Amino acid sequence: MVSKQTVLDLLDKGLDYHQIAARTGISAGTAYLIATGMPADGGDSYTQEMRQRPGAFQSRSQLLVHQAEENPTTKPEVGEWIKERLAADTQMRAAGQTATHG
């Protein structure tokens, strides 16, 4: 198993977690867990004190676990789904009309 000191030393040498993962044979999220004691997918559940640990990100550590971000609004089927939902929600449409014309 890769040690905490190994991961921190590699970070100090300028490697990022993905490079550390490739070098050590563990995932980037596991390297983050080893270095910080915090799972990378912890979201906003960490205190500011925890975020001060060596190797910890201030935010967005989830990218080590869920790398593939995409904007779903660029997919035509998402736009169609939104249009269908809007058309079906008469109460929200009425509220929107009141807000813009009220």
pLDDT digit of tens for each residue in the chain (102 aa)?
Answer: 899 999 999 999 999 989 999 999 999 989 988 998 888 877 667 777 777 788 877 666 767 776 666 666 677 887 788 888 888 888 877 887 776 665
What whole-number distance in Å separates Cα of residue 11 and Cα of residue 55?
7
8 and 58 both lie in a single domain = yes
Residue-level pLDDT at 76:
83
> How far is CA 19 from each of CA 25, 30, 92, 93, rounded to the nearest angstrom?
10, 12, 48, 49
Whether 8 and 55 map to the same domain: the answer is yes
Q: How far apart are CA 9 and CA 98, in angstroms?
A: 59
Average pLDDT, the chain: 81
Task: Give the count of domains, the chain.
Answer: 2
- On whether both 82 and 51 belong to a single domain, the answer is no
* Residues in CB range of 8: below 8 A, 6 or more apart: 35, 54, 55
Containing 22, the helix (H) or strand (E) segment is helix 17-24
* 40 contacts 64 by C-beta, under 8 angstroms: yes
Q: Are residues 44 and 18 in the same domain?
A: yes
Q: State whether residue 50 is helix, strand or coil.
A: helix
> Which domain, by its residues, includes 36?
4-64
